[in-house]
């Protein structure tokens, strides 16, 4: 599904920074991959390289066999297949909830308004917010907004969903409702790459956990492996701090 090989990413502003160092990773169809690591370790950067919100400097990233780093690829087509959920939701504040979900369907997938709205209402039903279809994002709680953002990503029928700390900006009592939606998606067989600090989620849902530090992929394995016998010292240190 996703294959990253020797991905390197540098930032030059404000100073030169080697943010990703030879990161190689495969994600199989239907797999739930959880990425953990300390702040600034390059988790977001890696995720954003997958749909080219950041352009990796070298290496290879293929999504379903299409090379993302090829300048001539149709990146919009690839992005339509790769849903993304942001830490700060990034809902469109000038659109109603339903319009948030239908806009890209009509613009990118060229669906009719009727089909898009039907799909939109189904997804709202799925995230438990069908009754909010007509309100605007700023009238919703953070948890509700994030569930809408998930529905918006799902509306494109993506082959894979990328989550960048989807619950980090939420008040604690709202974390559960978002994680529940994500758990259901995992159960339905959705391919997911999730950056999160929710170790409970990792333990329960992840097929595989990856630990990143300093732009490198330090260790990977099953959740069981991670939470019982991590190998690297950096992993142990991180887990001891967070658990």
Ligand X SMILES: Nc1ncnc2c1ncn2[C@@H]1O[C@H](COP(=O)(O)OP(=O)(O)O)[C@@H](O)[C@H]1O
Residues 4-63 touching Mg ion, rule: CB under 5 A, are 44
Distances (CA, A) of 82 to 110, 191, 224: 17, 10, 28
Asked whether position 41 contacts another protein by CB under 8 A, the answer is no
Q: What DSSP assignment string belongs to 148-191?
A: HHHHHHHTT--SEEEEESTTTTS-HHHHHHHHHHHHHHHHTT-E
Euclidean distance between CA atoms 102 and 74, whole angstroms? 22
- Binding track over 44-83 against ligand X, x by CB under 6 A: xx--------------------------------------
Binding residues for another protein, total number by CB under 8 A: 27
Residues 131-160 touching another protein, rule: CB under 8 A, are 136, 138, 149, 152-153, 156
Region of residue 110 (left: phi > 0; alpha: psi -120 to 50; beta: else): left
| CB 148, min distance to another protein, A | 12
- Binding track over 58-87 against another protein, x by CB under 8 A: ------------------xx-xxxxxx-x-
Asked whether position 234 contacts another protein by CB under 8 A, the answer is no
Asked whether position 235 contacts Mg ion by CB under 5 A, the answer is no
Using an 8 Å Cβ cutoff, are 125 and 184 in contact? no
Asked whether position 112 contacts another protein by CB under 8 A, the answer is no
Residues 18-47 touching ligand X, rule: CB under 6 A, are 19, 37, 39-45
Binding ligand X (rule: CB under 6 A), the pick from 11, 92, 136, 227 is: 11
Question: Which option in another protein, Mg ion, ligand X, none does residue 191 bind, with CB closer than 5 to 8 A by kind?
Answer: none
What are 35's strand-pairing partners?
195, 210
Euclidean distance between CA atoms 162 and 171, whole angstroms? 21
Q: Give the full edge-to-edge strand order of the sheet including 32-36.
A: 82-85, 160-164, 191-195, 32-36, 208-213, 216-221
Binding residues for ligand X, total number by CB under 6 A: 12
* Residues of this chain that bind ligand X (CB under 6 A): 11, 13, 17, 19, 37, 39-45
């Amino acid at each position: 599904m996703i294959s990253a090989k020797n991905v390197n990413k540098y930032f030059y502003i404000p100073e030169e920074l080697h943010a990703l160092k030879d990161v190689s990773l495969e994600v199989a169809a239907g797999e739930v991959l959880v990425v953990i690591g300390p702040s600034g370790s390059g988790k977001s950067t890696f995720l954003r390289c997958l749909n080219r919100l950041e352009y990796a400097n070298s290496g290879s990233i293929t999504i379903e066999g299409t090379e993302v780093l090829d300048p001539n690829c149709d990146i919009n087509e690839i992005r339509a297949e790769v849903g993304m959920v942001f830490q700060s939701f990034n809902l469109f504040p000038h659109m109603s909830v339903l319009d948030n979900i239908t806009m890209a369907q009509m613009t990118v997938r060229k669906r009719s308004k009727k089909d898009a709205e039907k799909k939109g209402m189904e997804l709202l039903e799925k995230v438990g917010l069908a009754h909010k279809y007509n309100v605007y994002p700023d009238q919703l709680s953070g948890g509700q907004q994030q569930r809408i953002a998930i529905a918006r990503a799902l509306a494109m029928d993506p082959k894979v969903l990328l989550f960048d700390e989807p619950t980090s900006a939420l008040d604690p009592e709202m974390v559960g409702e978002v994680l529940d939606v994500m758990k259901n998606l995992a159960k339905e067989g959705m391919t997911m790459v999730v950056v999160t600090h929710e170790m409970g989620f990792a333990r329960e849902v992840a097929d595989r956990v990856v630990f990143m530090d300093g732009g490198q992929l330090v260790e990977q394995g099953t959740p069981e492996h991670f939470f019982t016998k991590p190998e690297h010292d950096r992993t142990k240190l991180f887990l001891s701090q967070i658990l």
